[in-house]
Chains A and B, each alone.
Chain A
Amino acid sequence: MEKFLQLTLTGLTNGAIFSLVALGFVLIYKASDVINFAQGDFLLVGAYITFAFVGQMGLPWTVGVFLTMVLAVLLGLLVERFVLRPLIGEPIISVIMVTIGLSSMLRAFVSSIWGTTGQPFPPFIPNFNVNIGTAVIPADRIIAIILAAILLIIFTLFFRYSREGIAMRATADDQQAALSMGISVKKIFALAWSIAAVTAALAGVLVANIIGVSGVVAGIGLRVFPVVILGGLDSIPGAILGGIVIGLLEAYTGGYLGSGLSQVVPFIVLILILMVKPYGLFGEVRIERV
């Protein structure tokens, strides 16, 4: 029971972080049909920038994280404006190649400034242990889950009720019709990229807080693929649920069946689910009416 609780907690932490990363990924895909292979590197950049502000320059972490968010928005806007926008209308494979190129560039940028060896992250989440029943649970994980959950709730409300959130979904549905409402599609793309960059940067900070800053942080970003395929490439609730399911699956298989299997079993489950639901659990079905 104690082990189960521990594993559940680990799974939920990782899952909540996967969900955050997947959210940004899905947003970009929905708005502009781009599969962003650089999503993992947004985590990396976010983690290192916070590390620079808080760990190296000694700023209070609230200020450091805030500045990181500002820089992440800028990064998202720059990438959208100068890398992706010129590619509108190009074949999808060129766009994918460009995001892969962007990924290498960001990685090179990080290693040229901070080197390639991992470093400890200044713990901004106080680390103490909480006793739940017989289980001893590190508080940083619980706090990471709570922070991720708050972010996910904010975004869910944003897409359901806010004018800009609804406009984003409208653009994803029918670009020309969105244009006819006076929605600026350019602005929506920019918004999608900034949100994706911010959520990824924050996820990067949460990951780094647990495992320190190193190239591994970007690897977490790559695990987003099973998540979005499971949830449905174009579904925001799917991204959130998919993240949590994959997080838990990895933790349980790692804990009960051995760590070698923890990355494999989620893929097996994924394939089984796709056989039943080809659009993913929540993927938007083409609505066909007669």
Chain B
Amino acid sequence: MLALNNVEVIYNDVILVLKGMSLEVPKGKIVALLGSNGAGKSTTLKAISGLLKPEDGEVTDGEIIFEGEKIHHLDAADIVRRGIFQVMEGRRVFEHLDVEQNLIAGSYTRKDRRNIRQDMEQVYTYFPRLRERRRQTAGYLSGGEQQMLAIGRALMARPKLMMLDEPSLGLAPLLVQEIFEIIQRINKEQGTTILLVEQNARLALEVADYAYIMENGRIVLEGEPATLKENADVREFYLGLNEVGKRKSYRDVKHYKRRKRWLS
């Protein structure tokens, strides 16, 4: 459905962030993209969704293909219309709009305006808490509710491919659990293909059909979650399950901060 082939992204004409990034997302699956802070995960998503322009970033090489067509030269609005919707990192709800207006904003590109009410009801069945808060200003919702709203807003666009950028960021474990369950339900019930970016590798590997691990602007490892979970490096650096005596000291220092993140 979606393929990135050797994509290169440069910010401000000089900062090379993606260096030959390739991945594939098959239709109907959940694919996880894992990696530590600064690896280039968000940049990858923005390259796909056409959101690099406001940050002065550009795809300078390689290609991004969605349903057989190159999309890396289209602008963001066209890409949304083709069925790709990104739920941005940090939720980014429209703070001064209420919950319902946020959902309407999500449906902006929809042509079948008549079905919008019905889809709003569907969002409320996935997230009953949003129904209670439908008239509340989004800026005053809790972090978890904002994340639900961000996902609900994406559902309103009825995308074929939903890309989620760190939906677990800053949320309590129970809420994260709840949100991940709903992501799985959306995938099963709506048939929405999902590309999930996470730092929380353990959880992401639970729900994904396939996973990529990226470092420094390119993929370093990929495979089925079951295989990856057995990989010694993944266990050590991404799942925090190091086996005593097996650490190499300089890497240990280098990855110390990171590993702490994965543990949380």
Give the nearest-CB partner of A167 in chain B. B108
Is residue B26 contacting chain A, with contact meaning CB distance below 8 A? no
Q: Is the CB of A181 within 8 A of B140?
A: no
Contacts of B107 in A (CB 8 A): 163
The interface-forming segment of B98-106, B177-185, B212-220 is B98-106
Contact of A170 among B80, B94, B143 (CB under 8 A): B94
Partner pick for A181 among B50, B54, B106, B139, CB 8 A cutoff? B106
Among candidates B76, B79, B105, B157, residue contacting A166 with C-beta atoms closer than 8 Å: B105
Pair A166/B104 contact, Cβ less than 8 Å: yes
Number of A-B residue pairs having CB atoms within 8 Å of each other in the complex: 83
Per the bound structure, the CA–CA distance linking A175 and B92 in Å amounts to 10
Q: Is A81 an interface residue (CB 8 A)?
A: no
Whether the pair A170, B140 counts as a contact (CB closer than 8 A) is no
Q: Which of A163, A166, A177 contacts B92 (CB 8 A)?
A: A177
- How distant is the Cα of A181 from the Cα of B86 in the complex, in angstroms? 8
Q: Evaluate contact between A177 and B97: CB separation under 8 angstroms.
A: no
* Interface residue SS majority, chain A: helix
Any chain A CB within 8 A of the CB of B19? no
Whether A176 contacts B77 by the Cβ 8 Å rule is: no
Decide if B133 is an interface residue (CB 8 Å cutoff). Answer: no
* Set B51, B142, B143: member contacting A180, Cβ < 8 A: B51
Chain A CB within 8 A of B88 CB: yes
Interface residues of B in 149-166 (CB under 8 A from A): 153, 157
Across-interface contacts of A170 in B (CB, < 8 A): 94, 97, 101-102, 105
Contact across chains for B94 and A183 when beta carbons are under 8 A apart: no
Task: Report yes or no: A177 in contact with B157, Cβ–Cβ below 8 A.
Answer: no
A86 within 8 A of B: no
Residues facing A in B68-109 (CB within 8 A) are 75-77, 79-81, 85-86, 88, 92-97, 101-102, 104-109
Q: How far is the CA of A177 from the CA of B54 in the complex (A)?
A: 11
Cα–Cα, bound, A167→B110 (Å): 13
Question: Which chain B residues lie closer than 8 Å to A160 at the CB level?
Answer: 101
**Mask for B118-152, Cβ within 8 A of A = 1, else 0?**
00000000000000000001011011000000000
Among B55, B79, B108, B139, point to the contact of A163 (Cβ < 8 A).
B108
Which residue, of A167, A174, A182, A287, has the highest number of chain B Cβ atoms within 10 A?
Answer: A182
Residues of A within 8 A of B49 (CB): 180
Query: Quick check: A180 and B101 within 8 Å, CB to CB?
Result: no
Query: A residues 171-194 with Cβ under 8 Å of B?
Result: 172-184
Measured in the bound complex, the distance between the Cα atoms of B140 and A182 in whole Å is 25
Chain A residues with Cβ below 8 Å from B81 are 182
Give Cα A284 to B96, complex, Å.
8
Contact A181 B105 (CB under 8 A): yes
A169 interface contact, C-beta 8 A: yes
Residues of B within 8 Å of A180, CB to CB, are 49, 51, 76, 80, 85-86, 88, 92
A-B contacts, 26 of them at CB < 8 A, read A166-B97, A166-B104, A166-B105, A167-B105, A167-B108, A169-B101, A170-B94, A170-B102, A172-B96, A173-B95, A174-B92, A174-B94, A176-B55, A177-B88, A177-B93, A178-B105, A179-B54, A180-B51, A180-B76, A180-B85, A181-B106, A181-B108, A182-B81, A183-B108, A184-B75, A287-B139
